[in-house]
């Protein structure tokens, strides 16, 4: 189908191509939503101003994990690590480019903004569709610290992933997921790493016991932590490179949301947390980081699936209250469901069962004896949370996430046969405890 345009004014051309759905952003939320929508018969226009794959692929999850993998090698050659990272990113980016050429999808390069609530402008062209999904992601947020502006030593995760030499001394401001992962990676590559955090503990959204154990483990490896410390001026940090890892902000600048009467809250675009429809605009959806609900690539993907299902009138059984997450440090940390602190805060009657890596044959065989599994169950014995520190924590938490989606009990977990020897046997051991 050819894209014809009619003369609309001296500066605007109105596209006559009929689209069912326009998606702003080709990150994991946007491109997966486009694929799913096209497979279900919708004509989709997806607009991307930069590289496909979004933050996750180009300057987030994937390149970071490539470095995490290389950092665990005995050789720890940073030149090879950079080559490996670039190769992985290019391969995956090429795959998404091909995916966006499937029937039903038109990929348009350019910067999109709202002309009105039903129209999107890209340059001098305006496109309309029955539905619009905003999937523009987020960017690193800079704190109000004196001396940051124009300082050549200061980088965000985006710039850090483009360096080609290891800094002798790396200072990290922020002990969230990004800060902790880079602290682990660069310590293993040989940097002297110092992490400064305003809060009293790292990873504030994770189980406090797991977070403390992870921090202690990284301290033993050589990472220095300065907790309960606020940086007033960047000159307080004596380092060759300073990473700002103090959170992210929704990418809404330049979208001209006011033209569509779309409002933003402190975390991002305000949406219905079940359908991800923008408040007051039933035909517009906002998914992923831009709505601030859960800054995770897999959250963006599944929110996109939900949005498309809502457009199609299809029911699904996605449980957004069961959102597994992981920190790819060494050792790894992961969790799903509520933490012990949350259970106490909400007044939930719960039990906590523990399993230990040191008692597991596979853990000892692969030289990973340090680790703990915590499983939480409610008064009806149903699984309500799992938190793990140790090798392959993310893979093991995924099993519990799947079981939680099915309403599984501790007793049922205990009766599931697990392969021997595997780390997942620790889950069964914890259930028996």
Beta bridge partners of 140: 248
From residue 131, how far is each of 42, 120, 284 by CA, in Å?
11, 11, 6
The answer to whether 24 and 30 are in contact (CB under 8 A) is yes
Beta bridge partners of 193: 170
Contacts of 258 (CB under 8 A, 6+ apart): none
Rounded Cα gap, residues 411 and 407, in angstroms: 12
420: annotated active-site residue: yes
First-to-last CA distance in the chain? 63
Beta bridge partners of 277: 285
The answer to whether 361 and 420 are in contact (CB under 8 A) is yes
The answer to whether 230 and 198 are in contact (CB under 8 A) is yes
From residue 191, how far is each of 28, 218, 231 by CA, in Å?
32, 13, 21
Catalytic residue selected from 298, 317, 392, 420? 420
Relative to beta strand 350-356, strand 372-378 is antiparallel
Rounded Cα gap, residues 40 and 372, in angstroms: 43
Q: Please say whether the dihedral angle defined by the alpha carbons of residues 54, 393, 161 and 239, taken in this order, is positive or negative.
A: positive
Q: Which of 403, 405, 408 is nearest to 382 (CA)?
A: 408
Rounded Cα gap, residues 89 and 133, in angstroms: 25
Q: Which of 99, 82, 65, 334 is nearest to 213 (CA)?
A: 334
Rounded Cα gap, residues 355 and 371, in angstroms: 9
Q: Please say whether the dihedral angle defined by the alpha carbons of residues 261, 304, 39 and 106, taken in this order, is positive or negative.
A: positive
Residues in the chain: 433
Catalytic (active-site) positions:
420
């Amino acid at each position: 189908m050819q894209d014809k345009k009619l003369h609309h004014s001296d500066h605007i051309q109105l596209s006559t191509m009929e689209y069912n759905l326009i998606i702003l952003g080709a990150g994991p939320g946007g491109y997966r939503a486009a694929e799913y929508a096209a497979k279900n018969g919708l004509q989709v226009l997806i607009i991307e101003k930069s590289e496909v794959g979004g933050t996750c692929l180009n300057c987030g999850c994937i390149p970071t994990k490539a470095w995490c993998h290389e950092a665990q090698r005995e050789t720890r050659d940073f030149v090879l690590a950079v080559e490996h990272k670039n190769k992985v990113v290019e391969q995956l980016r090429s795959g998404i480019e091909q995916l966006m050429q499937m029937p039903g999808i038109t990929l348009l390069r350019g910067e999109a903004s709202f002309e009105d609530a039903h129209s999107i402008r890209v340059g001098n062209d305006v496109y309309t569709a029955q539905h619009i999904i905003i999937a523009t992601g987020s960017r690193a947020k800079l704190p109000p610290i004196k001396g940051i502006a124009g300082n050549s030593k200061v980088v965000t995760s985006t710039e850090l992933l483009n360096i080609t030499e290891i800094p002798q001394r790396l200072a990290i401001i922020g002990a969230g997921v990004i800060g902790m992962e880079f602290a682990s990676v660069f310590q293993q590559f040989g940097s002297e790493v110092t992490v400064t955090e305003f809060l009293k503990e790292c990873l504030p959204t994770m189980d406090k016991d797991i977070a403390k154990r992870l921090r202690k483990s990284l301290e033993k490896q050589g990472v220095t932590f300065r907790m309960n410390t606020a940086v007033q001026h960047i000159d307080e940090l004596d380092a060759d490179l300073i990473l700002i890892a103090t959170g992210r902000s929704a990418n809404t600048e330049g979208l001209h949301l006011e033209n569509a009467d779309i409002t933003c809250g402190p975390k991002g675009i305000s949406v219905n947390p079940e359908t991800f429809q923008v408040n007051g605009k039933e035909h517009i959806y906002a998914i992923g980081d831009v709505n601030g609900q859960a800054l995770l690539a897999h959250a963006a993907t599944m929110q996109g699936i939900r949005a498309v299902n809502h457009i199609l009138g299809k029911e699904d059984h996605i449980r957004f209250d069961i959102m597994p997450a992981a920190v790819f440090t060494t050792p790894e940390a992961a969790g799903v469901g509520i933490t012990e602190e949350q259970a106490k805060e909400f007044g939930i009657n719960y039990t906590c069962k523990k399993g230990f890596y040191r008692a597991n044959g596979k853990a000892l065989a692969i030289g990973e004896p340090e680790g703990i599994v915590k499983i939480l169950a409610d008064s009806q014995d149903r699984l309500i949370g799992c938190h793990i520190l140790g090798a392959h924590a993310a893979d093991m938490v995924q099993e519990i996430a799947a079981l939680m989606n099915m309403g599984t009990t501790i007793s049922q977990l205990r009766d599931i046969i697990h392969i021997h020897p595997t780390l997942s046997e620790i889950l069964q051991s914890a259930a028996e405890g």
